[in-house]
Structure 1
Amino acid sequence: MGSSGALIPTNQRRTTMRRSTSTTLRALRTSVMLARPGHPSAQPTLLRRLTSGEEGMATAEYAIGTLAAAAFAGLLLALMRSGSLSGALRSIIESALSV
């Protein structure tokens, strides 16, 4: 048969999960405070990271970031292949190597 959670009503499962999550966070806060009593500046940062809801990027955000990076790389490539910028860059490199 299925998991034992299927026998528990949905609302009760959500309440139980919230309760266990808050208990876990409370235990983490306590352990951080006990483990690092000499570093008060690190405690709020770590606690903020543990309790914050949304950090990092989701898959869609990675895709958009990748497309933006590819577009930027294409722009740089177009600039580097242009004659004027290429000549200016070549003269800078030659003057640096001639010293």
Structure 2
Amino acid sequence: MIFWSWGRRSLNRQVSPDHVVVLTYGYFTLMFIFSVAYRYRYQLATATPQGWAARSVSDDEALQMLGTRPLVPNLWRRFSIFLIPIGVAVAVLVSTAVS
């Protein structure tokens, strides 16, 4: 049974006909449900006759190209693993309050 997994994923958004902003990030998943995303890195991919050429860009430069809609993983993918210790703390508080 696979209990955890980790790796890298990416999201992308086209900002012009020849340019795409790509966000790559690391993730850790527990039981395919709870996860955390970390280490964000932006790249600008440009279409060329030979294929896609990518170069790293700073966070500020990527956010400028993306405009008002930032490119980030959803809240569940970023922070859901923190629900486990919160759930344990709530269970302990409830059990001590009951007894």
Same fold flag (TM > 0.5): no
Structure that is richer in strand per residue: 2
Bigger radius of gyration among the two: 1
Q: Which structure's relative contact order is higher, taking Cα pairs within 8 Å and 6+ residues apart?
A: 2
**Normalization by structure 1: what TM-score?**
0.31
